[in-house]
């Protein structure tokens, strides 16, 4: 399965921001259609409530889709070529793969009934149609619910037009206005005395939900009768001459325009400048990008608060994690205003330069205690980074694109965006001369770092096969160490090593890439020593790596030190210590979104548990590792018919447990969702609920989903902080 029910959570649907009002008939119809039709598209004008209706319908349909209900928000996507990447990321498929990505997505979604919700398709319509048609052809269990102002035009598409809300005194439009009015002004009550005015307001706004919500917020500054009078004057002026087919579109624009007029000049200016962001933004970004002229940086925060109160923007999170967003229709209005002011190009360049600075800061601080923060921050800013890169790729100076895409090497390589990074780096390199200076060198280095070529897999497999033979000949305690994953993940093959060494020598002195390579060199040495069964020397080099990372408070490369300490512990006959270090590595890899690294560590856990005689637990973990290789976009590295490691351990564990117990255990591990799988691999042993005492790191042998099992919603491995692992007898909050 692509996902499973774990802790009551399926897929990635966000919580609904407020109470859903009305639309019972439409919801019932969507439910019926999703049971019989494979593609349902909700169409209608902007602001009519397509996205909100789709989200409500998706929540209602979760029980029908054990494979997951996955929301793919496309409004912030600018480049149609990245649509498949966006689908992969939304469905939690890390696209570190050389196979066609759409093929990987199809395999990832296959196995159980699954619903994909594609929201706001109209601006990437052709690519949406192509991707949907391919997915429907190759995933028989798939249903797609799309929202778009235009139909996709895919064979078999069933259209459902979303109309404005009904306008009678007891109908949905009045109920929605009243609900949003109470949210804006808690003292408001819908009564027989004011119902006629509310009904008139709803009629003036044609029952368009977004217009109703914007109008309801105006009650903070206007009594109800004044609100109606203001709408009357605005609409008499601007709507009366609109052609009939444009009336509803003009109604929404007029409602937004009236909200715009009621803003102060500085609020209007900030609204316009904020329109350059893709997705969301934080206060720091707004202060940098939007200041200038009459707008001072210190005025940005109170203006953001004011625009939030007026429902022009929305706010998520709290404290330092606060982020703001703007609805597409509202953003489009601001963008037109920005163009009219003649500021569009200048503000876009400030946006680009801010995210260039963010990338440089992230690179400089990646190998330090802020690593996890940077992984999460740049993941949150992914849409803005894409927009900044596209801006760089159109700049007259090609070195600007080389610098930005190259500076993000750590984001592409360690945070699960290798395929996208390769695409951007190749585009930047094609525009630049080969002797382009340090920016060119950095981009070449980054491209080599994130590129996995077929020879890598062959080299990794040959090393693993050789070790199986060596282990059998020497009767080592563990016959097949999982070197395939380690080889791939640290790019440690001898042929690749030469390429990386050559590239690193050219890297600008003192930059993050050069420092990273110093640590990578230690990981490569540990890998090569392990492949020669020189376990004591491997452990010594791995300890050096851990010490160097500890100086920096670094997690990602530190996890490779944990990995090789664990691997050496297995070879030296210390499986309890090996389990402890492997779990520390897994927690860290998952926290910084390194899916390939997590899969490689899961392989190691199979070996460590088998070395302790925990064969059933090892079989569960074998299924978990297959799930994680699948999620990393490299399922061939988890298949027993394709890799020596999985073939060897399938044979040994099947012999030990018998066919039935082995198959049940592997299936249970494989059918967990990726987050649940990692959570179980950590929490099942570390929280004491799985039967282990936690004293020696061995944990219990309970299977996935047993008592004390994890929830998909939290984060695994919080006990492994930047300064090193925490108490192994205490698990952190599970999930990712």
Q: What is the pLDDT of residues 456-475, one digit of tens each?
A: 555 445 445 544 544 454 44
Neighbour-count burial of 17, counting CB atoms closer than 10 A to its CB (0-12 exposed, 13-18 middle, 19+ buried)? exposed
Among 149-163, 207-221, 285-299, where is mean pLDDT lowest? 207-221
**Are residue 129 and residue 185 in the same domain, yes or no?**
no
Q: What are residue 42's DSSP bridge partners?
A: 147, 160
CA–CA distance, 39 with 53 (Å, rounded to integer):
16
Q: Is 529 in contact with 492 (CB distance < 8 Å)?
A: no
- End-of-domain residue from the set 407, 426, 449: 449
Span 33-51, mean pLDDT? 90
Distance CA 461, CA 482 (A): 10
What b/e sequence results for 523-552 when a residue is b if at least 16 CB atoms lie within 10 Å of its CB, and e otherwise? bbbbbbbbbeebbeebbbbbbebbebbeeb
Pairing of strands 114-119, 142-148: parallel
Beta bridge partners of 325: 314
- 623 compared with 461, residue with greater pLDDT: 623
Q: Is the pLDDT score of 335 beyond 60?
A: yes
Residues 677-682: what's their mean pLDDT?
Answer: 85
Distances (CA, A) of 413 to 82, 87, 125, 491, 580: 18, 19, 30, 11, 26
- Let me know whether 527 and 599 are in one domain: yes
Which of 183-192, 206-215, 249-258, 718-727 has the lowest average pLDDT?
718-727
Confidence bin at 246 (pLDDT 50/70/90): very low
**When comparing pLDDT for 246 and 565, which is higher?**
565
Residue 397 and residue 481 share a domain? no
| Confidence at residue 118, expressed as pLDDT on a 0 to 100 scale | 96
Q: Quick one: CA dihedral 355, 360, 365, 366, positive or negative? A: positive
Instruction: Please give the pLDDT value at position 274.
Output: 97
**Domain-located, residue 2:** no
Query: Does 395 share its domain with 504?
Result: no
Integer Cα distance of 406 and 412 in angstroms: 9
**What is the DSSP code string of 277-305?**
-SS-B-HHHHHHHH-BTTB-GGGHHHHHH
Is residue 609 included in any domain, yes or no? Answer: yes
- What's the rounded mean pLDDT across residues 591-620? 86
- Predicted confidence at residue 584, as pLDDT, reads 93
Which of these three, 131, 161, 191, is where a domain ends? 161
Least confident of 220-229, 446-455, 472-481, 621-630: 472-481
Asked whether residue 91 is assigned to any structural domain, the reply reads yes
Write the CATH number for 73. Answer: 3.40.50.300
Residue 354 pLDDT greater than 70, yes or no: yes
In 85-169, beta strands by DSSP E: 114-119, 142-148, 157-161
245 and 157 in a common domain: no
| Residues 578, 623 contacting (CB under 8 angstroms) | no
Distance in angstroms between the alpha carbons of the first and the last residue of the chain:
19
In a domain? residue 16: no
Please indicate, yes or no, whether residues 462 and 399 belong to a single structural domain of this protein.
no
Residue 726 scores a pLDDT above 70: no
Per-residue confidence band for 704, with pLDDT thresholds at 50, 70 and 90: very low
Task: Examine the pLDDT at 408 and tell me if it is beyond 90.
Answer: yes
List % helix, strand, coil for the chain (3-state, nearest 5).
Answer: 60, 5, 30
If DSSP codes are grouped into helix, strand and coil, which group holds residue 438?
Answer: helix
Residue 460: what pLDDT?
47
Q: How many domains does the chain fold into?
A: 4
pLDDT of residue 100: 82
**Rounded distance, CA 671 to CA 611, Å?**
24
Q: 220 and 191, same structural domain?
A: yes
Is residue 699 included in any domain, yes or no?
A: no
What is the residue range of 283's domain? 267-303+324-449
In a domain, 358, yes or no: yes
Give the pair of three-digit tokens for residue 440.
């060119």
Q: What is the rounded average pLDDT of the residues 261-269? A: 91
723 assigned to some structural domain: no
Tell whether 115 and 217 lie within a shared domain.
Answer: no
In the predicted structure, residue 633 carries a pLDDT above the cut 70:
no
Q: Are 38 and 143 in contact (CB under 8 A)?
A: yes
Q: Lowest-confidence range among 412-421, 567-576, 619-628, 689-698?
A: 689-698
Domain assignment present for 621: yes
Last residue of a domain, one of 135, 161, 187: 161
* Of 689 and 416, more confident: 416
153 and 290 assigned to the same domain: no
Tell me the residue ranges of DSSP E strands in 140-261.
142-148, 157-161
Question: Does an H or E element contain 348, and which?
Answer: helix 344-365
For residues 524 and 399, membership in a common domain is answered with no
Q: What would the mean pLDDT of 131-156 be, rounded to a whole number?
A: 94
394 pLDDT higher than 70: yes
Residues 367 and 443 placed together within one structural domain of the fold: yes
Residue percentage of the chain with pLDDT more than 70: 78
Q: Which two tokens stand for residue 504?
A: 């690193």
Residues 558 and 483 in one domain: yes
pLDDT of residue 251: 72
């Amino acid at each position: 399965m692509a996902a499973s029910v774990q802790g009551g959570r399926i897929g990635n649907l966000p919580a609904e921001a407020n109470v859903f009002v009305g639309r019972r008939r439409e919801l019932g119809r969507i439910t019926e259609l999703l049971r019989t039709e494979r593609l349902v598209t909700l169409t209608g004008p902007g602001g009519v409530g397509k996205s909100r209706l789709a989200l409500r319908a998706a929540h209602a349909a979760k029980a029908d889709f054990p494979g997951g209900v996955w929301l793919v928000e496309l409004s912030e996507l600018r480049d149609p070529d990245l649509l498949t990447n966006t689908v992969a990321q939304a469905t939690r498929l890390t696209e570190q793969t050389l196979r066609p990505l759409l093929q990987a997505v199809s395999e990832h979604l296959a196995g159980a009934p699954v619903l994909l919700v594609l929201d706001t398709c109209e601006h990437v319509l052709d690519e949406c149609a192509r991707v949907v048609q391919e997915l429907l052809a190759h995933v028989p269990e798939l249903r797609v619910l799309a929202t778009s102002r235009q139909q996709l035009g895919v064979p078999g598409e069933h259209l459902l037009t979303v109309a404005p809300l009904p306008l009678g005194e007891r109908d949905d439009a009045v109920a929605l206005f009243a609900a949003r009015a109470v949210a804006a002004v808690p003292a408001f009550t819908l009564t027989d005395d004011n119902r006629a005015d509310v009904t008139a307001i709803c009629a003036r706004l044609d029952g368009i939900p977004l217009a109703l919500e914007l109008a309801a917020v105006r009650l903070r500054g206007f009594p109800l009768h004044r609100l109606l009078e203001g709408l009357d004057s605005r609409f008499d002026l601007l709507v009366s001459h609109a052609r009939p087919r444009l009336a509803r579109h003009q109604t929404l624009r007029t409602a937004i325009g009236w909200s715009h007029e009621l803003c102060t000049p500085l609020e209007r200016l900030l609204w316009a400048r904020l329109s350059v962001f893709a997705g969301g933004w934080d206060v720091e970004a707004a202060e940098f990008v939007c200041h200038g002229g009459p707008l001072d940086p210190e005025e940005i925060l109170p203006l953001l608060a004011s625009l939030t109160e007026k429902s022009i923007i929305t706010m998520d999170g709290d404290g330092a994690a606060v982020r703001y967003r703007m609805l597409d229709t509202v953003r489009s209005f601001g963008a037109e205003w920005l163009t009219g002011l003649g500021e569009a190009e200048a503000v876009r360049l400030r946006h680009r330069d801010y995210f260039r600075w963010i990338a440089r800061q992230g690179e400089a601080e990646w190998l330090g205690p802020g690593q996890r923060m940077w992984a999460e921050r740049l993941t949150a800013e992914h849409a803005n980074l894409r927009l900044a890169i596209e801006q760089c790729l159109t700049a007259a100076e090609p070195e600007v694109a080389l610098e930005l895409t190259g500076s993000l090497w750590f984001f592409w390589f360690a945070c699960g965006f290798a395929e996208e990074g390769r695409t951007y780096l190749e585009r930047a390199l094609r525009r630049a001369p080969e002797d382009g200076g340090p920016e060119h060198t950095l981009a070449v280095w980054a491209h080599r770092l994130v590129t996995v070529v077929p020879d890598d897999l062959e080299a990794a497999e040959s090393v693993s096969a050789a070790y199986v033979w060596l282990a059998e000949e020497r009767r080592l305690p563990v016959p097949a160490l999982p070197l395939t994953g380690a080889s791939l993940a640290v790019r440690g093959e001898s042929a690749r090593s030469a390429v990386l060494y050559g590239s690193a020598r050219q890297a600008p002195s003192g930059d993050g890439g050069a420092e990273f390579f110093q640590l990578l060199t230690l990981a490569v040495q540990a890998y090569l020593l392990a492949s020669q069964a020189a376990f004591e020397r491997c452990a010594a080099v791995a300890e050096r790596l851990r010490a160097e990372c500890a100086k920096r408070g670094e997690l990602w490369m530190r996890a490779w030190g944990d990995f090789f300490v664990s691997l050496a512990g297995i070879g030296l006959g210390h499986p309890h210590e090996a389990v402890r270090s492997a779990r520390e590595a897994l927690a860290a890899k998952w926290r910084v979104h390194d899916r390939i690294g997590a899969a490689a560590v899961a392989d190691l856990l199979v070996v460590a548990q088998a070395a302790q005689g925990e064969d059933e637990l090892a079989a569960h973990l074998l299924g978990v590792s297959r799930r994680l290789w699948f999620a990393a976009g490299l399922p061939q590295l988890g298949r027993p018919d394709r890799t020596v490691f999985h073939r060897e351990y399938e044979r040994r564990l099947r012999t030990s447990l018998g066919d039935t117990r082995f198959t049940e255990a592997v299936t249970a591990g494989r059918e967990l969702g990726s987050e649940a799988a990692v959570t179980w691999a950590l929490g099942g042993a570390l929280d004491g609920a799985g039967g282990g005492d936690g004293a020696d790191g061995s944990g219990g042998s309970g299977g996935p989903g047993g008592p004390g099992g994890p929830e998909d919603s939290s984060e695994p491995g919080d006990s492994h902080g930047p300064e090193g692992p925490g108490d192994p007898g205490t698990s952190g909050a599970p999930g990712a």
